[in-house]
Amino acid sequence: MSDDDAEEEEEAPAVELGDREPVEGQPVARVASRLTWPQEASRVLEKEGDSTVRTPDGPQTLDQVLDAVDETYFDSRQTFVHEVHAVIGDGPVQTEE
């Protein structure tokens, strides 16, 4: 890499993120990343049940969401995320106003 290339990279404008509106809760994927898999639903509730997750309908606790999930055993992180998203949906998340 030449010095000219390095100068071009440094001169590139920073990406503007705009005004940030806070979103309550955390993504389901973040909760799932803190656990090891496979995992029983009851153990997920013990470890992360009080975590607030983001949903299109507003924030919900994970225990509320898992009450609507029929699975009692998640063989992988992907299965867990899929089952939770089947309940909460994949739409845009509401921001705090």
What does the alpha-carbon distance between residue 74 and residue 62 come to, in Å, rounded to a whole number? 15
- 57 lies in some domain: yes
Q: Do the domain assignments include residue 71?
A: yes
64 band by pLDDT with thresholds 50, 70 and 90: very high
The answer on pLDDT for 17 being more than 60 is no
Stretch 75-89: mean pLDDT = 95
Residue 70 is part of which domain span?
A: 23-88
Q: What percent of the chain has pLDDT over 70?
A: 74
Q: Is residue 38 part of a domain?
A: yes
- Provide the 10 A C-beta neighbour count for residue 37: 13
Q: Is the peptide bond before 38 cis (omega within 30 degrees of 0)?
A: yes
What is the per-residue DSSP string for 41-87? HHHHHHHHTT-EE--TTS-EEHHHHHHT---SEESSHHHHHHHHHHH
Domain count within the chain: 1
CA separation for the pair 50, 44 (Å, rounded): 10
Flag whether 65 is in a domain: yes
Average pLDDT, the chain: 85
Q: What is the pLDDT of residues 39-59, one digit of tens each?
A: 999 999 999 999 999 999 889
